[in-house]
Amino acid sequence: MIHASIAVDPAFRVGPVRRRTFGSFVEHLGRCVYTGIHDPAAASADEDGFRGDVIDLARELGISTIRYPGGNFVSGYRWEDGIGPVTERPRRLDLAWHSTEPNTVGVDEFMRWSAKAGTEPMMAVNLGTRGVQEALDLLEYCNVEGGTYWSDRRRANGAERPYNIRMWCLGNEMDGPWQVGARTADEYGRLAQQTALAMRMIDPDLELVACGSSSSMMPTFGEWERTVLGHTYESVDYISAHAYYFEDDGDLGSFLASAVDMDHFVESVIAAADLVRAQKKVSKRIHISFDEWNVWYQHRAESKSPTGSDWPVAPVLLEDRYNVADAVVVGGLLISLLRHTDRVHAASLAQLVNVIAPIMTEPGGRAWRQTTFHPFAQASQLAKGDVLRVEVQAPTYETKRFGDVPLLDAVATHDPETGETVVFAINRSTTDELALAVDLRALPGLRVLGATSLSNPDHLWAATADDDFSVAPVANPTAAVADGRLGATLPPVSWNVIRLGR
């Protein structure tokens, strides 16, 4: 048995729990849109062809924002193709995923879906093959009341009221050589600045996201952020961060420590943004929109796009099946995002359905939950009030990628109004139970309202359409409070949630 401790004290407040931390992402990629959110053949399909079961699962996940329509897809997208009568919409080549885009779903359909799912849209504009004018046209279509060409087109298409979309992404991963229309930091920085200034002439209060590096592994990481923010600092609110993790060649120890990398990444982006702040001698701070994060096995066959003359509609792409260890890593990444709530103001689990997703569907058939569904749903539903820094005291283990890493990772939230306090914790040990001791002396009178653990003797267990229930969070009866101290035993390779209240 490993022994580890944390202290939960409302004095150690990092910042508020932000609903936008629990965003997701719907890209025109593989089966995310077609047969994912939209599938007229499904039994649960509504009058718009949207799957009711997927909407229910998105609500159960507690999704806040949804980034749309890409991703790499947006860099070749003509948004006007997706409006007006569906039968008149063009079919186009999607170069990003070597697919055919039928344009059955476009901005109006997506906005209807978003309203039904109770999510906030986060719209991306194409700064790959397009520029300032097309971004302005889309903004006019979405946010202008009426009386102009594009706003009246929207009204004619059935949306009388403007969509009033607040968050806008200025392109996607513009440093990536794979990106259609990839640019240098100076080229992109200038274009993003011009686009941001022009968009604010229509709607000054937009919240704008400039593209950060497409990953911390890019050779220009850091310098890209500095240059792009050098151009855009006064005109944008966020810089984006993207990170995907996977178990590399059986190195489970490093994989379970993925949050160490996310912590370092976030802190490096903050450092770059704050350097520009210091250089510009301004008080404004730029925050992070961590608008793509997840576990993604990019080298597997299911992530390879079609090739040659094969340009299918909605092919099976990026359909990773997640096991219990993947779910524990997703839990660890949520802990990392929460503990940086002072600077990470929005995040998007990439993606929502079928494509590296917590929700899976069969075309015309069942919808089901992957293992990664559970930590996200629990954190989204239960994290309320303030995020508290907890000082983890735990033995370490040696990892190939990150050196010595604590076996425990944890964060806590505390709702000052209800007094409800929640501890989110992962045990990274692959062999041993972990005896967690939580010092609660700063919050007297708390008792356990509920405790769950997600684990399995076989951490490779993955859900299927036939069985997405036999491994799920189950009650952890070991959690109890005595003498101002919470004790709980956390199984090896586990995600744990302990709710405390009076």
Question: Which residues lie closer than 8 Å to 411 by C-beta, 6 or more apart?
Answer: 335, 338, 339, 387, 388, 389, 390, 423, 424
Answer yes or no whether residue 172 interacts with ligand AHR by CB under 6 A.
yes
Q: Which of 17, 22, 27, 385 binds ligand AHR (CB under 6 A)?
A: 27
Identify the residue whose tokens are 């000054």.
204
CA atoms of 97 and 69, how far apart (whole Å)? 13
Q: Which of 30, 36, 69, 70 binds ligand AHR (CB under 6 A)?
A: 70
Shortest reach from residue 119's CB to ligand AHR, in Å: 17
Beta partners for residue 349, in sequence order: 24, 293
Answer yes or no whether residue 173 interacts with ligand AHR by CB under 6 A.
yes
Indicate the residue among 71 and 212 with the shorter CB distance to ligand AHR: 71
| Cβ atoms of residues 338 and 376 within 8 Å | no
Shortest reach from residue 202's CB to ligand AHR, in Å: 26
Total Cβ atoms within 10 A of residue 137: 17
Indicate the residue among 70 and 106 with the shorter CB distance to ligand AHR: 70
Q: With residue 190 as reference, give the H or E element that holds it.
A: helix 185-202
Answer yes or no whether residue 24 interacts with ligand AHR by CB under 6 A.
no
Answer yes or no whether residue 71 interacts with ligand AHR by CB under 6 A.
yes
* Helix axes 149-156 and 132-143, enclosed angle (nearest 10): 50
Shortest reach from residue 176's CB to ligand AHR, in Å: 7
Shortest reach from residue 326's CB to ligand AHR, in Å: 16
Stretch that binds ligand AHR, among 11-19, 64-72, 141-149, 269-277 (CB under 6 A): 64-72
Q: Which of 351, 378, 421, 452 binds ligand AHR (CB under 6 A)?
A: 351
| Cβ atoms of residues 105 and 34 within 8 Å | yes
C-alpha torsion angle, residues 155, 159, 164, 170 (rounded to 10): -80
Q: How many residues bind ligand AHR (CB under 6 A)?
A: 11
Total Cβ atoms within 10 A of residue 319: 17
| Parallel, antiparallel or unpaired: strands 92-94 and 99-101 | antiparallel
Stretch that binds ligand AHR, among 55-63, 67-75, 249-257, 406-414 (CB under 6 A): 67-75
- Catalytic residue check, 292: yes
CA atoms of 358 and 349, how far apart (whole Å)? 9
- Catalytic residue check, 225: no
Answer yes or no whether residue 69 interacts with ligand AHR by CB under 6 A.
no
Answer yes or no whether residue 126 interacts with ligand AHR by CB under 6 A.
no
| Parallel, antiparallel or unpaired: strands 386-388 and 13-16 | antiparallel
Stretch that binds ligand AHR, among 66-74, 151-159, 388-396, 421-429 (CB under 6 A): 66-74
Stretch that binds ligand AHR, among 9-17, 69-77, 125-133, 395-403 (CB under 6 A): 69-77
Question: Which residues lie closer than 8 Å to 171 by C-beta, 6 or more apart?
Answer: 74, 75, 124, 125, 126, 127, 128, 188, 191, 192, 211
Indicate the residue among 64 and 172 with the shorter CB distance to ligand AHR: 172
Shortest reach from residue 296's CB to ligand AHR, in Å: 7
Q: Which of 101, 134, 225, 292 is catalytic?
A: 292
Answer yes or no whether residue 121 interacts with ligand AHR by CB under 6 A.
no
- Taken as a whole, the chain contains a residue count of 502
Please state whether 263 falls in left (phi above 0), alpha (psi between -120 and 50) or beta. Answer: alpha
Answer yes or no whether residue 216 interacts with ligand AHR by CB under 6 A.
no
Q: Which of 173, 225, 247, 420 is catalytic?
A: 173
Would you tell me which residues interact with ligand AHR (CB under 6 A)? 27, 29, 70-72, 172-173, 214, 292, 350-351
Point out the residues that are catalytic.
173, 292
